[in-house]
Structure 1
Amino acid sequence: MLAVFDKAIGKPPQEFSLIPSFGLGSSKSRQEIAETFQSSWPESTLYNLSNGNFMALSHEDESPLHPRSIVVMDDIFCIFIGTVENTCELRRHYGLSRQATAAMVLIEAYKVLRDRAPYPPDQVVKDLQGKFAFIIFDAKSLNLFAARDRDGSVDFKWGISGDGSLICSNDANIMAETCGKSFANFPPGCMFMNGSGLTSFDHPFHKVRAILLEDDEGQVCRVTFQVDLFTRLHSIPRSGSAANWADAAVAEAE
């Protein structure tokens, strides 16, 4: 899979730009990145979004343990890799038919969060039992929502290209070619929303910190992310329509 969003929408962590070689992919436009992916995965399906953003998926070399799918409903795009063991339970919870896939369930869960927000986003992801990674993009509200299961069972990486665009993929070669060294594993047990940033769905009120690693010459060469259990957040920073997603839970917690 591959998802590319300009920095105004993707809002990637600024720590990626601290790696000196982050400009290695600067010669590639987002269109060129799409062409690189399609060249590597010729059977891929690509969805062109506004302003040169796009999402793409290939079923080539797909593992039966981690099936891939891309679903579009009501201008909401979802790439899903993996399995959700309690899909039947979630179908009943959201009033969906037995034909609804895990990706369809996720889109419905997102719509409930966006429109009614009866519970926080971390609870939605925490309720997913299985091995998965997903990216949801709402083309109307420009909300971006991504997550990876707590065991990190599915390959999922993120980083920035030379122009600061957010790049997400399960293909390490594509990430290296488009991001240079400015990419990392998406942290297990975490979710990312472009309105509120990176958080842990197991520890939603603890900061997820970026850790910069240096080489023998003292140059930043890599970045990783981990939950800081010693720092508790009193509220989760957020803006725009994404602000509605967690207000109820924050109010209860405070």
Structure 2
Amino acid sequence: MLTAFEKAVGKPPEELRVPSNVVEKAKTREEILEIFQSSCPESTVYHLSNGSFMALSQDNESVQPHPRCIVVLDDVFCIFIGTLENTSDLRRHYGLPRQATEAMVVVEAYKVLRDRAPYPPDQVIKDLQGKFAFILFDARTDTLFAARDRDGSVELHWGMAGDGSLVCSHNLDIIIDACGKFCSPFPPGCIFTSGSGLMSFVHPMHKVRAIRREDDNGQVCGVTFQVDLYTRIPSIPRTGSASNWADITLVKEENNIHP
């Protein structure tokens, strides 16, 4: 699997920016795709706006640790790697037929999140139980959505190409070839959207911070993203929520106030 989204669409985290000392080793989207297609001539490639693309190769699928597929539904493109343990429950929840694959379930979950449900993204992704990683792109809104399961069971790496594009792949060698060594594992238990950035769906009230790595010469050679459990994101209480009603009841009891 390989995806590349031009900077204005992918909006990669600034921490992924290639340092000046290695920028010459990073490639453009066109060069990255050419190399990928030359090594995987039977791959499926979807060309998106402004030179962005999503590609998937089925080569050697029988020896891969996880199944992979790509689907396109209502201008939503999704590459899914892995399996969901609760696919049947999710099909019923979203009103999908028994033939719906994991990728189709993810697309439907995204569409519900986008169009109908006032749920935060972390609540939707928490419903996905299994070993997975996926990249989803909504061509109608130019929205990128990516996620990796909480245990990091499926490989997913990302980096910034020489032209500033956001590049993602389950194959570390592909990422290194495209972006140089300045790349990073996509953090487990996290989601990334081009609108809201990177967040943890396991710890949604805590920030995900970037920690830069240095080589023996003190040169920055990469970055790792980790959840900062010591820093809590300020939140605005949701008026009328069950927790707020519980708080009000507690205050009334403490003050012997009866309705």
TM-score (norm 1): 0.89
Q: 1:214 to 1:141 in 2, by over 3 A?
A: same
Q: 1:122 to 1:249 in 2, by over 3 A?
A: farther
Alignment RMSD (CA, Å): 2.1
Q: Alignment partner of 2:17: what SS?
A: helix
The structural deviation recorded for 1:86 is 0.2
For the 8 Å contact 1:5–1:53, the answer to whether it is kept is yes
CA distance in 2, matches of 1:215, 1:133: 29
Gaps of 5+ in 2: 245-259
The structural deviation recorded for 1:42 is 1.5
Q: How does 1:36-185 map to 2 (within 5 A)?
A: 36-62=35-61, 63=63, 65-185=65-185
Q: 1:164 to 1:213 in 2, by over 3 A?
A: same
Amino-acid identity (%)? 65
For the 8 Å contact 1:21–1:180, the answer to whether it is kept is no
The structural deviation recorded for 1:21 is 4.1
Q: Which residue of 2 aligns with 1:35?
A: 34
Q: Which residue of 1 aligns with 2:253?
A: none
Of 39-48 and 88-97, more deviation after overlay is shown by 39-48
Q: Which residue of 1 aligns with 2:5?
A: 5
- Greater relative contact order (CA < 8 Å, ≥ 6 in sequence): 1
The structural deviation recorded for 1:29 is 2.9
The one-letter code of the counterpart of 1:57 is L
The structural deviation recorded for 1:161 is 0.5
The structural deviation recorded for 1:173 is 1.8
CA distance in 1, matches of 2:239, 2:178: 37
The one-letter code of the counterpart of 1:35 is E
Q: 1:250 to 1:175 in 2, by over 3 A?
A: farther
Gaps of 5+ in 1: 236-246
CA distance in 2, matches of 1:92, 1:117: 16
For the 8 Å contact 1:118–1:248, the answer to whether it is kept is no
Q: Alignment partner of 2:46: what SS?
A: strand
Q: Alignment partner of 1:217: what SS?
A: coil
For the 8 Å contact 2:160–2:166, the answer to whether it is kept is yes
TM-score (norm 2): 0.88
